[in-house]
Amino acid sequence: PAPRRLFKPGPPASSSPSHPIHPAATSLPPPRKRKVRGFWRVHQISARMAPVKLYGATLSWNVTRCVAALEEAGVDYEIVPINFGTGEHKGPDHLARNPFGQVPALQDGDLYIFESRAICKYACRKNKPELLKEGDLKESAMVDVWLEVEANQYTAALGPILFE
C-alpha cells in the first residue's frame, strides 16, 4: 500500500504547475499548508529531498513520541503503517529497518534508525539542535536528566493509563 501522511497537505498557495514529484520540476514547489495542532502551518516541500519515513502506527506510544519530536523539530515526514496482524513487522523488509522487528523505525535517505528516543535525538540534532542545548554542558546535562526522567518515570506511570 502507498505510504499515508499523518497530515494531508492543504491546497497549494498558488496555482503554479510545478510539482515536487514531477520530473520537469526544476525549482521548489509553492508552499503548502497543513494542519498541526488545530492550526494551519505553511511549510515548503523540497523537490530535492523526500520526507523522512516513520514506520509504525500512532497507536504506539513509542511512535507517538517520535511524531511529537518530528513536529517540534519541524521535520517533513510521512508515517508508513506496519501491519502487525499479517506479521509485516517480522518480515525481511522491516527487519532490515529494525532488527528487533518492532516499531518505530525511521528512514532518512539511506540511514535507518530504530528506538524511539534515538529517533527523537536524531531529529533534534539534525533539524533543531538548540533543543538539546549541546553547546552548553550544564544545560545539556539538564536535558539528559529530563530525558531519563521521561524514560524511567513518566512512561512507567503513563502505561496503565494508556491501557485503560
Contact call for residues 62 and 116 (beta carbons, < 8 A): yes
Domain ranges of the chain: 52-130, 133-163
- Average pLDDT estimate for 48-75: 88
Residue 73: count of CB within 10 angstroms of its CB:
18
52-130 is a CATH 3.40.30.10 domain: yes
Sequence-distant (6+) residues with CB within 8 A of 157 are: none
pLDDT digits (tens, 9 = 90+) for 102-155: 999 999 999 999 999 999 999 999 999 998 898 889 999 999 998 888 888 877
- Residue 42: which of 30, 57, 54 has the closest Cα? 30
- Band (pLDDT 50/70/90 cuts) for residue 46 is very low
Global confidence as pTM: 0.66
Q: Mean pLDDT for the chain?
A: 77
pLDDT at 42 over 50: no
